[in-house]
Amino acid sequence: MVLDYFWNIVFFILTISLLITVHECGHFLAARFFGVKVEKFSIGFGPIVWSWQANKDSTEYIISIIPLGGYVKLLDKSSISSDSESYHTRNDSFHSKDSWKRGIIIAMGPIFNIIFSIILYTLVFMIGVPVYKPIINYIFPNSIVEKINIPVGSEIKSINGIKTVDWESVRLNILHNINKEKIVISTICVNNDEIYEKSYVIPLSINWLDKSIIKTQDPIIALGVLPCIFRATLNASEIKLHPVSEQDTLQINDKILLINKLPIYNWQSLIQIVKNNSGQSCQLVVERDKHLLYLNVVLIDNYEVDSGKFLKNINFFLAPDIVCKSIKPVIRTDELFTAILKACNKTIDLFIFTVNALFQLVSGNVRITNLHGPIAIAQGAGKSIHSGINYYLMFLAVVSINLGLINLFPIPILDGGQLCFLLIEKIKGSPLSKKIQNFSYIISFAILILIMVLTTYNDITR
């Protein structure tokens, strides 16, 4: 468990450092292109760990001890002595450039994050991604979907007219329509060798995601659907568990659906869930006699996993006692040009989805408790790298898009705020006073700290 935390922190630092480097490279290269002198290029804040400078007139490259940020220091008039002969003649300072050039230099950081996401998704599509058809394997009793009688085994072909080729596209389409009063799901079902298509209208209430009988942030599961990737049915003569109470005893033939709100996709995900929660209280969602039960159990510390079997007092359930129904994914690979087009479309879709999610947050359709912070990013980095390089690249792309978008917020300490200052300068004919700018920096810094504390609190409570 301690080792898992350690690697999560390591991959979190690597992820943030890489994305910040990409972001600052955007500012750096744009400044160089427009002839602005770059005095410092720093990854991280605080005490300097390493620095290099070819000569006193060149850029100083710095790595600092706190890898949660970075900056590019451009030559400014304030850096030049007013007594210097070059004070009025130098044209390599940031403020000596036209406002449109300064705007491009500022905007190029977020733009580089978006471009980096396209590059990452291009690699993902060329390497190949496992695609699971969105076939409904299980429907939770008394759930939203169960009430409209969609047959188990149906394949979801579209949501509100948008084609769905895998579970990820299903998830994104549901989230795109999270504030709608209803969604229309079109399916294909096979019955007695006869294939037929049917559409179902699913009514949605306000904040339906938070009101779901299944306590999860996954919209597919919240609707009451378990993806057809893996199904585990307990059928054991002996179950070794540590129930928190007598009411939390797992029984033979209970269907284990979720562990700590996570579906069991395959043996690898099951092993990872057990490892991550060893020695801790876990909540199991099981079906017993067509009723959902929430059981609290503790997985003890001693475990060993070998060839898909839990051995040596895992105190969970054993591989021979599990009846598995599994569907193998189709691995799709694309040529370079096709991969680039798909990567562009994927990045645009995620960017629009993120913007829409922020509007839903502001409008109150999504609760602020759904915001994720640094702990969630660290956990995501660790889990994705353990799942494979492709999954880590996809995780990196998503975080890169979010970083680029967040930096466009009209907050003075961010790039978006600096663009607002430029716009005001263009309209007003002169820049805002230093006093107003400095005050706005203090306020915006306080806002960012508040958001950081809130998201960290959300991560901890989860």
Tell me the three state secondary structure of residue 122. helix
What b/e sequence results for 404-435 when a residue is b if at least 16 CB atoms lie within 10 Å of its CB, and e otherwise?
Answer: bbbbbbebbbbbbbbbbbbeeeeeeeeeeeee
Per domain, the residue ranges of the chain are 35-90, 129-228, 230-324
Helix (H) or strand (E) holding 146: none
Four-point Cα dihedral 307, 308, 309, 311, nearest 10: 70
Name 429's Cβ contacts closer than 8 Å, sequence gap at least 6: none
Please give the pLDDT value at position 236.
36
Structure-token match 């307990």, residue found: 234
What tens digit of pLDDT does each residue of 410-456 get?
Answer: 888 899 999 999 999 888 888 888 888 888 889 988 888 888 888 88
Domain 129-228, architecture per CATH: Roll (2.30)
Pairing of strands 136-139, 155-159: unpaired
Neighbours of 169 (CB within 10 A): 18
What backbone torsions phi and psi does residue 120 show, to the nearest 5 degrees? -65, -45
How many alpha carbons fall within 13 Å on the CB side of residue 296? 6
Angular region, 375: left φ>0, alpha ψ -120 to 50, beta rest: alpha
The answer to whether domain 129-228 and domain 230-324 are alike in fold is yes
Structure-token match 């300072």, residue found: 93
* Residue among 24, 60, 146, 238 flagged as catalytic: 24
Sign of CA dihedral 152, 155, 160, 161: negative
CATH superfamily of 230-324: PDZ domain (2.30.42.10)
Residue 246 falls in the annotated catalytic set: no
**Residues of the chain predicted below pLDDT 50:** 87, 229-246, 300-326
What backbone torsions phi and psi does residue 388 show, to the nearest 5 degrees? 135, 160
What b/e sequence results for 252-266 when a residue is b if at least 16 CB atoms lie within 10 Å of its CB, and e otherwise?
Answer: eebbbbbbeebbbbe
Q: Rounded to whole angstroms, what are the CA distances from 318 to 75, 134, 227, 261, 280?
A: 65, 28, 23, 21, 19
What backbone torsions phi and psi does residue 11 show, to the nearest 5 degrees? -70, -30
Please give the pLDDT value at position 166.
84
Helix (H) or strand (E) holding 60: strand 60-74
Q: Are 357 and 175 in contact (CB under 8 A)?
A: yes
Partners of 233 in beta bridges = 255, 323
What angle is formed at CA 104 by the lines to CA 99 and CA 108, rounded to 5 degrees?
A: 155
Nearest in space to 110 (alpha carbons), one of 358, 345, 406: 406
Both structure tokens of 26:
């955007």
Nearest in space to 172 (alpha carbons), one of 303, 46, 345: 345
Both structure tokens of 74:
């451009």
Sign of CA dihedral 179, 182, 188, 189: positive
Task: Say which amino acid occupies 452.
Answer: M
Nearest in space to 79 (alpha carbons), one of 91, 89, 93, 99: 93
Please give the pLDDT value at position 415.
92
Sign of CA dihedral 372, 376, 378, 382: negative
What tens digit of pLDDT does each residue of 181-215 get?
Answer: 889 999 988 776 678 888 999 888 877 877 777 77
Please give the pLDDT value at position 33.
93
| Rounded Cα distance, 51 and 64, in Å | 9
